[in-house]
Amino acid sequence: MINLSKLNKEDLDLLNKLIETKGDNIFVNSLYNTYFDYLTYLDNDEISNFNESKDIFLSSLGLDLNDKYTLNKLNEFEVLNVKELDVDSFKKDKYYKDINPKEVKIKIHQNTYHLYYKYYKPFNYFIYDEIKTKDNDYKEINSLGYFSSSFKYLALDKNDETWMSIIPHEINTMKEDIKKINGNVVIYGLGLGYFIYLLSLKEEVNKIIVIEKDKEIINIFKEYIFKLFNKNSQNKIIVKEDDAFKFNETKLINNKYIDKDINIIINYAYIDIYHNPLDALPSYIRFIQNEYKNNGITYFYWIEESIICYIRRIIISIFEEALSSYDDKDYIDNDDYLNNFINKLYRYLKNLNFNSYADISSLLTKEKIKEICKDLK
């Protein structure tokens, strides 16, 4: 059992406030999901102005805006701070300017792929960047925005389900890591080639090794997208069919990659083999626990801030359960990854001493959460 008996009333009040904030984070996130689900039921008529889009957004949430508590929560989490984005800045993105594959349907074995263009309609809201966390209280602030004109983006469907797309959220959540990377880099996850193309345009980037296990995705990329890359970019990029974990754990020796035709030092690795923070968890944990095998390589993870927020919620939930007298019998391993991950976190926390709220809050920084996850057994 996690022992919180040394916490005084002020500490407990702060912990309960943290638990309340965690609940608010989940609630606010559900509001966005409610709106996005609602959008799928709207007809094809375009929204003509911002006021109309705001009315649709608020009506989809079903909230009483005359209730002061509700309104205060929306303001606290900046739910109503919807930003108009400059559509031209995205249209000027180098990938969108340079890489314009033709729409095509591809049949490979039992799978049907559709490479084509989708659209954001004017004044339809979408999440356009990473979650921002307020360090003092861990409120999660989402970036909600819209375009005032339509925006076309490249997508790949697999069996009528969108598999990959290059949307503003993807562009914004990658640009800072693109700025930081130079030298030789391993990219885990091919996608539609956005990240590797932007990297290849940098003079400071020498060689890009892309690891992708899906042979069908590799074939589509090479046939319909890679041919549109300029020659200099093509010369920097090597795409290899391989399992990301196997390659990272067995084919990189410290920070070197040696193959029959390659012998280079790797400076950076970028992991993008998941779709969202929930399905990212197993991959994220496995990679960070094996970083030590490749000293000298700096690892970056797509949407890492959102993954950290997800893990932070779990840690706070474990403290919430501790206040309800949960103990070892409530944390039994089974075949479910998430359940077992929670149990590992519980066993880690159970062995710590908590003399004050500061001992708890110190565990919730990004750096400490990564350290905890690296140590989980």
Per-residue confidence (pLDDT) for residue 12, from 0 to 100: 98
Instruction: Give, as one character, the DSSP assignment of residue 19.
Output: H
Residue 70 lies in a domain: yes
As for how many domains the chain has, the answer is: 1
Supply the pTM of this predicted model. Answer: 0.95
Q: How many CA atoms lie within 13 A of 141 on its CB side?
A: 13
The verdict on residue 212 lying in a domain is no
How high is the pLDDT of residue 42? 73
Phi-psi sector, 205: left (phi>0), alpha (psi -120 to 50), beta: beta
173 inside domain: no
Low-confidence ranges of the chain (pLDDT < 50): none
229 occurs within a structural domain:
no
Query: What is the domain range of residue 120?
Result: 11-165
- Residues near 280 by beta carbon (within 8 Å), at least 6 away in sequence: 274, 301, 303, 307
Q: Tell the residue number behind the tokens 């799978």, with chain if given.
A: 111
Helices (H) and strands (E) in the chain, counts: 15, 17
Reported as a single tens digit per residue, the pLDDT across 143-190 is 999 999 999 999 999 999 999 999 999 999 999 999 999 999 999 999
Residue 318 located in a structural domain: no
Contacts of 350 (CB under 8 A, 6+ apart): 1, 2, 328
99, part of any domain:
yes
Q: Let me know if residue 281 belongs to a domain.
A: no
The pLDDT assigned to 343 comes to 97
Predicted pLDDT at 67 = 87
Residue at token pair 């399992």: 243
DSSP H/E element including 298: strand 298-301
DSSP string, 21-34: HHHHHHHHHHHHHH
Domain annotation covers residue 158:
yes
CA dist., res. 321 & res. 324, Å (int): 5
Binning the chain into helix, strand and coil, the percentages to the nearest 5 are 45, 20, 35
Which strands sit side by side in the sheet containing 252-253, from one edge to the other? 252-253, 256-258, 263-265
